Amino acid sequence: MKVNDGAQREKGGIMNWFAKITAILTAGFVFVEEIARVLSLAFAGKKNVIVFGPAGHGKSEMVQSVIKELKLDDDTFFQFFGEGMDESRLFGGLNFKKLEEEKILEYYPEKSFLNSKVAVFEELFDAPASVLLALKDVLTAKELRNGSQRFKMRTEIIICLTNKEPGEISELGPAAHALIERFPLQLNLKWKDYSAGSYLSMFEKVASRLAGPVLNGFKGVLAEILAKATAEGNFVSPRTAVHAFQVCQASATMRGADHVEKCDLTDLRFLPGLEGLAETIQADLTAAMERAAAEKNLSQAESTLRELLSELSQATSPIKALQVAKKFVVFQDEVSSLKITDGLSERRKRLRETVGEKITEAQSRALEQTRI
């Protein structure tokens, strides 16, 4: 009975972590389920985790928001591993007084990550091999062992954020490979796809937080342009996409307008990956706007279909059934005349087929009700 109770408490604890972290991340980010899950496992199981992937996906911002909202700021140590990183910086600094007076090399571990419950390491694997090896030894022993100096490690979780993939890290040498093994949880943080729909989902999320001119229908147009650039090999990261959103707003502000127009999107050419946009901006904008308009019209048609289906389900007399059938016939002509773009033809085809089936169904229902 005690074992079951313990298992239930553990399950409840993990689910509680997941619910909390998901709520925190959903408030400001999109596509957060995977990182929310891996961070929940890290906190619940006290396991080190590597979150890697292409730059510009908000790895640092996500982790910082989780740390802040969980009220762990005061017990979290942030360390950036860049140029000039050495063992002294890793372990809190060198005790120069002891070195000068007693010729003993000691650190101030109480000022390092070792004295915090949570540690966040940015670009850990940019550090020299000697630093990685020293860190690996400490993580293995769970304490700093430096001659006669001993300091027990308080750190329960280390979150490593890096643009390097684990396979790439292992190639850095034995020290890096051995250190990776101390991070049992790993997540490649990237979007499932970089379609217009994905960029648009992010714009819908951030639009309410970004003060300035509104994009209205141009959010979809901008999403189309960025998706096209990425598909052609000029990858546009989520961070750059937000910059693109803000550039459009800034351009509108410079015109004294409170909403973004077509002309404002031409300034996207100053963003990385979109430099060549100046030459094709008009064609790209026109195509994107046509696709957005076609998508809007098709969505409206699908909404009309749902209304007609509802009418058909409530047609309880032959006259009403025939009236609905007549509406379906008119609607079928409207659907056939819809202007669509590439990628929407199959969707319109399904819509037309459904309408044709419902015309027959409505007529058959009227005939059956007449017989009754």
Q: Reply yes or no on whether the pLDDT at 187 is more than 50.
A: yes
Nearest Cα to 186, choosing from 42, 61, 11? 42
In a domain, 254, yes or no: yes
Determine, yes or no, domain membership for 31. Answer: yes
Separation CA 205–CA 201 (nearest Å): 6
In a domain, 283, yes or no: no
Q: Could you tell me if residue 286 is inside a domain?
A: no
Which of residues 139, 163, 188 is at a domain's end? 188
Q: How far is CA 360 from CA 289, 327, 356, 369, in A?
A: 36, 12, 7, 14
Of the ranges 60-64, 205-209, 262-266, the best mean pLDDT one: 60-64
Identify which of 182, 189, 137 has the alpha carbon closest to the alpha carbon of residue 163.
189
| Residue 282 placed within a domain | no
Task: Mark whether 245 and 338 lie in a shared domain.
Answer: no
CA dihedral 92, 98, 103, 108 (to 10 degrees): -10
Q: What is the mean pLDDT of residues 134-151?
A: 94
66, part of any domain: yes
pLDDT-based confidence at residue 278 (cuts at 50, 70, 90): low
Nearest of 119, 118, 28 to residue 65 by alpha carbon: 28
> pLDDT tens digit string along 11-20?
545 568 999 9
Q: What is the CA radius of gyration of the chain?
A: 29
- The string of pLDDT tens digits covering residues 317-335 is 888 888 888 888 898 888 8
pLDDT value at residue 172: 77
Are residues 180 and 208 located together in one domain of the fold? no
Whether residue 5 is predicted with pLDDT greater than 90 in this model: the reply is no
Is the domain of 26 the same as that of 155?
yes
Instruction: Write out the DSSP string of 11-74.
Output: HHHHHHHHHHHHHHHHTT-SS-HHHHHHHHHHHHHT--EEEE-STTS-HHHHHHHHHHHTT-GG
Assign 4 a pLDDT band (cuts: 50, 70, 90): low
Facing residues of 119 across strands? Answer: 77, 158
- Both 36 and 124 in a single domain? yes
Are the beta carbons of 80 and 122 closer than 8 angstroms?
yes
Phi, psi of 79 (to 5 degrees): -135, 125
Residues 211 and 113 in one domain: no
Domain at 183, CATH number: 3.40.50.300
| DSSP letter, residue 107 | B
Same domain, 255 and 309: no
pLDDT of residue 284: 67
- Asked if residues 190 and 53 have their Cβ atoms less than 8 Å apart, the reply is yes
Q: How many CB atoms lie within 10 A of CB 314?
A: 9
CB-CB neighbours of 212 under 10 Å: 16
The predicted structure's pLDDT at residue 1 = 43
In a domain, 130, yes or no: yes
Asked which of 247-256, 321-330, 342-351 is least confident by mean pLDDT, the reply is 342-351
What integer pLDDT is reported at residue 86 of this predicted model? 93
Question: Which comes out higher in pLDDT, residue 92 or 366?
Answer: 92
Separation between Cα atoms, residue 133 and residue 179, nearest integer Å: 7
User: What's the half-sphere exposure (Cβ side, CA atoms, 13 Å) at 283?
Assistant: 6
If asked whether residues 85 and 172 sit together in one domain, one would say yes
* Encoded amino acid at 100, one letter: E
Q: Which two tokens stand for residue 331?
A: 């609607």
Could you tell me if 295 and 340 are in contact, meaning their C-beta atoms sit under 8 angstroms apart?
Answer: no
CATH code, domain carrying 262: 1.10.8
Same domain? 103 vs 142 = yes
Asked if pLDDT for residue 344 goes beyond 70, the answer is: yes
Mean pLDDT of the chain, nearest integer: 88
Given a contact cutoff of 8 angstroms between Cβ atoms, the answer to whether 149 and 107 are in contact is yes
Q: How far apart are CA 21 and CA 107, in angstroms?
A: 35
The residue ranges of DSSP E strands in the chain, in sequence order, are 49-52, 76-80, 118-122, 143-146, 149-152, 157-162, 185-188
Q: What is the pLDDT of residues 197-239, one digit of tens each?
A: 999 999 999 888 888 899 887 898 899 889 988 998 889 999 9
Do 119 and 210 belong together in one domain?
Answer: no
Same domain, 299 and 225: no
What pLDDT, on a 0 to 100 scale, did the predictor assign at position 178? 86
281 within a domain of the structure (yes/no): no
Helix (H, G, I), strand (E, B) or coil at 336: helix
Domain coverage including residue 221: 196-275
Q: Does the pLDDT at position 171 exceed 70?
A: yes
Domain count, the chain: 3
Verify that 76 and 115 share a domain, yes or no: yes
Residues 184 and 204 in one domain: no
Whether the per-residue pLDDT at 84 is higher than 90: the answer is: no
Distance CA 245, CA 228 (A): 16
